[in-house]
């Protein structure tokens, strides 16, 4: 079996990074016809998502005969292995633990022993992210419906603005800022023009960001009543939680993915990428207003 792991005392990446690794390992299992499991004990997320079908902890198997593959932030590390002899690739009698946040399944699908279609399989896995793999529990759905309110069946445009870890209270001392943070006003102005030209004034904006100031600046473009915003504490999933409720990470991505009819994302952000890839529509754009090809969002680095 192959097990994607999010363990205590191990940096695994944020939610977007984790989903990229999860889908990649599921793809390996699909192509090799071996069981797939999730070992998630870094945080207790059972209140938020149902992955019981794949929950390794439910098997009550002790950590014996374990092989570790640690390739966080290392896409090339598994390339040679996955393009090699498929019969000797993984020991099916052992537990194979993966720490991974990269799209590596593309290398296996280029192996002459795999006769499956890469894009068909991986797009299918992302499409089923919230219906088959990480199914939102009632707590999340109640939060989603409460946030959307009367707009839950209306025209909702998703906007995801990633400014950088510098702006997050969970990431004290970090200096990382994206170039996006210097052009927020211009970005929001352009998105408004784009949406006004298509929908007139009968749409709402769902905004998710790692910088709370972006909400304040969005009020210069849209009336407050037209902005849907989850004002829960902004937290990074891979840092120590600031309170007992980390649901915003899941709620915001679910709304962006499943409840919008168009979205604009920060292309450099895996959080936005996985929302696009799992979304119910193909109306996906970068913050520059350019239409995105979902296939180009599968990997930040080498891409099929």
CATH number for position 202: 3.40.50.11350
Mark whether 88 and 183 lie in a shared domain: no
Mark whether 65 and 153 lie in a shared domain: no
Mark whether 7 and 46 lie in a shared domain: yes
List of residues 6+ apart from 245 with CB closer than 8 A:
232, 233
DSSP 8-state secondary structure symbol assigned to residue 55? B
Residues in the chain: 304
Count of domains in the chain?
2
Asked if residue 302 is part of any domain, the answer here is no
Radius of gyration from C-alpha coordinates of the chain: 20
Which parts of 34-192 are beta strand (E)? 36-40, 49-50, 66-71, 95-100, 135-136, 156-161
H-helix or E-strand spanning residue 7 = none
Report the C-alpha gap between 16 and 277 in whole angstroms. 11
Asked if residue 164 is part of any domain, the answer here is yes
Mark whether 149 and 229 lie in a shared domain: yes
* Residue finishing a domain among 136, 151, 167: 136
Give me the domain span that covers residue 211. 140-297
Helix axes 248-258, 15-32, angle to 10 degrees: 70
Mark whether 121 and 163 lie in a shared domain: no
Mark whether 160 and 192 lie in a shared domain: yes
pLDDT score for 151: 59
* Residue finishing a domain among 87, 111, 136: 136
Mark whether 123 and 248 lie in a shared domain: no
Mark whether 197 and 96 lie in a shared domain: no
Mark whether 49 and 153 lie in a shared domain: no
Asked if residue 97 is part of any domain, the answer here is yes
Mark whether 192 and 177 lie in a shared domain: yes
* Residue finishing a domain among 104, 136, 168: 136
Mark whether 284 and 246 lie in a shared domain: yes
pLDDT score for 56: 96
Report the C-alpha gap between 2 and 96 in whole angstroms. 5
Ranges in the chain, pLDDT < 50:
none
Mark whether 41 and 65 lie in a shared domain: yes
Contact 134, 15 (CB under 8 A): no
Asked if residue 303 is part of any domain, the answer here is no
pLDDT score for 61: 79
Contact 104, 89 (CB under 8 A): no
State residue 145 phi and psi, 5-degree precision.
Answer: -65, -35
Report the C-alpha gap between 294 and 277 in whole angstroms. 6
pLDDT score for 63: 65
């Amino acid at each position: 079996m192959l097990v994607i792991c999010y363990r205590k005392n191990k940096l695994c990446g944020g939610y977007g990074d984790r989903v990229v690794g999860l889908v990649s390992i599921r793809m390996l299992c699909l192509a090799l016809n071996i069981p797939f499991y999730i070992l998630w004990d870094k945080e207790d997320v059972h209140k938020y998502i149902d992955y019981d079908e794949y929950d390794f902890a439910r098997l009550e198997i002790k950590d014996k005969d374990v092989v570790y593959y640690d390739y966080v932030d290392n896409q090339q590390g598994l390339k040679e292995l996955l393009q090699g002899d498929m019969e000797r690739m993984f020991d099916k009698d052992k537990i194979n633990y993966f720490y991974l946040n990269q799209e590596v399944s593309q290398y296996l699908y280029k192996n002459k022993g795999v006769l499956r279609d890469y894009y068909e399989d991986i797009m299918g896995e992302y499409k089923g992210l919230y219906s088959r793999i990480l199914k939102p529990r009632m707590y999340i759905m109640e939060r989603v419906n409460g946030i959307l309110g009367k707009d839950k069946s209306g025209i909702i445009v998703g906007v995801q603005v990633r400014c950088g870890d510098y702006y997050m209270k969970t990431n004290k001392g970090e200096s990382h800022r994206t170039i996006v943070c210097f052009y927020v006003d211009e970005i929001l102005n352009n998105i408004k023009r784009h949406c006004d030209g298509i929908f007139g004034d009968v749409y709402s904006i769902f905004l998710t960001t790692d910088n709370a100031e972006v909400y304040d600046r969005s009020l210069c473009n849209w009336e407050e009543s037209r902005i849907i915003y989850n004002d829960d504490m902004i937290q990074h999933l891979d840092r120590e939680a600031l309170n007992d409720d980390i649901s915003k990470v899941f709620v915001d991505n679910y709304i962006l993915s499943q409840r919008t009819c168009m979205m604009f994302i920060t292309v450099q952000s895996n959080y936005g990428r996985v929302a696009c890839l799992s979304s119910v529509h193909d109306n996906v754009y970068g913050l520059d207003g350019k239409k995105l090809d979902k296939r180009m969002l599968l990997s930040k680095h080498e891409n099929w």
